A = this chain, B = another copy of it.
C-alpha cells in the first residue's frame, strides 16, 4: 500500500531534515535514542475496497492491525504502540465489540499497546498507526539490497488473492482451499517468528502487500539493482500451482509475507536456522547488477506484467 503515495509525494519535494528517514519505505524512521530508532507506519482499510460489507468485524479488526504490523516487521522492528482511527456511519455496538476483539487479539499477539485514537462519522474506514522500535544497525531498508544477495520469502504466496477471487465468484475451489484462502485474505497471519530469527543476517526487506513482483520491484528500484528469480522456488500454494493460477502468487497482493535479502555468506547460517526452527522460508533467487527483474522457469524467461498500484487494482 505504498507505491501510490507517490501521488502525494510528487506535490512536494521537501528535504528531510529532522527525520532519520522519511517517505519511501514500509515505515518512517525517527531517532528513538542513541542506539534505536522508531519505525512508524500508517495504513487504512476501507469498506468495499479492502474488505467486503459482509466481512466478519473480528477479522477486519485483526487485519487493520496486522497490515501495519507487517510494515513494522519488514523494517526489522518490533511493534510496540498503536493509534486507531475509525470512521463509521453510526455507532454499532455489536460490530464494535467484534471488531475490538479482533483488533485487541492482534495487539496481544504482537505485544502492542493501544495508546490513542479517534472515532468519527463517515463511510466505514479504519486507519491504524503503529510505532515499533529497531536498533539502528539492524534496520532493514528497501534501499539496502546488495548485488549477489540471496532473496528469501516467508510463507506461501497467492492464497489471499485466491480468497478474493473465490469471494468474487471468479474461481471455484474445494472447501478446504476456499476456507484457507479466505482466511489468508481476511485474517493474515504474520511471520514475526521467522523474520526475527533471520533478520540479523539480512540486508533489506519489504512486506508483500501489492504482490511479489510489485514489492520485489520496490526493493530493486530503491537499491538500484536487479534480480534473477527461479520460478520453481517461489513458494506458491500447491492447489494454485496445480490449477494454473500462479499469477495470483506473482501479482495478487495482500499476502503480508516478507521478502528479505541477505549476503550469500549468510546462506548456511540462515538455512541452519530454518532447519532448526522449522521455518517456512524459501530462497527464490539472487540480486543482480543488471537492473532488471527476471523470473525464469526451466531456463526460459517468463514475461512479466507491469506492477500495479491499488488504484489500478480493481
Within 8 Å CB of A127, what residues of B? 42, 44, 85, 127
How many copies of this chain does one complex carry? 2
Is A236 in contact with chain B by the CB < 8 A criterion?
Answer: no
* Contact mask for chain A residues 29-56; partner B; CB cutoff 8 A; 1 contact, 0 none: 0100100000011111111111000000
Besides A11-B104, A122-B125, 7 new A-B residue pairs in contact (Cβ under 8 A), listed by A number: A7-B93, A18-B81, A21-B115, A40-B129, A44-B118, A44-B122, A45-B120
- Report how far A185 CA is from B153 CA in the complex, Å: 50
Contact (Cβ within 8 A) B49 A96: no
Contact (Cβ within 8 A) B11 A97: yes
Is A113 in contact with chain B by the CB < 8 A criterion?
Answer: yes
- Report how far A242 CA is from B48 CA in the complex, Å: 48
Q: How many residues of A contact B (CB 8 A)?
A: 65
* Contact A28-B118, Cβ < 8 Å, known A7-B93, A129-B129: no
Contact (Cβ within 8 A) B114 A42: no
Which of B7, B27, B30 sits near A96, CB closer than 8 Å? B7
- Hey, which bits of chain A sit against chain B, CB under 8 A? 1-2, 4-5, 7-8, 11-12, 14, 16-19, 21-23, 27-28, 30, 33, 40-50, 80-81, 83-87, 90-91, 93, 96-97, 100-101, 104, 113-123, 125, 127, 129, 131, 310-311, 313-314
User: Looking across the interface, which residue of chain B has its beta carbon closest to that of A50?
Assistant: B120
Within 8 Å CB of A313, what residues of B? 121
- Report how far A240 CA is from B8 CA in the complex, Å: 39
Contact (Cβ within 8 A) A11 B96: yes
Within 8 Å CB of A80, what residues of B? 18
What 5 pairs across the A-B complex have the smallest Cβ distances?
A: A46-B122, A11-B100, A28-B116, A28-B115, A123-B123
Within 8 Å CB of A7, what residues of B? 91, 93, 96, 119
A111 to chain B, nearest CB (A): 9
User: Looking across the interface, which residue of chain B has its beta carbon closest to that of A111?
Assistant: B18
Task: Enumerate 30 A-B pairs (CB-CB under 8 Å) in ascending A order.
Answer: A4-B91, A7-B93, A8-B100, A8-B117, A11-B96, A11-B97, A14-B113, A16-B115, A28-B116, A40-B116, A41-B116, A42-B83, A43-B120, A44-B85, A44-B125, A46-B120, A46-B121, A46-B122, A46-B123, A48-B122, A49-B87, A49-B122, A90-B311, A91-B311, A121-B310, A121-B311, A122-B123, A122-B125, A123-B123, A129-B129
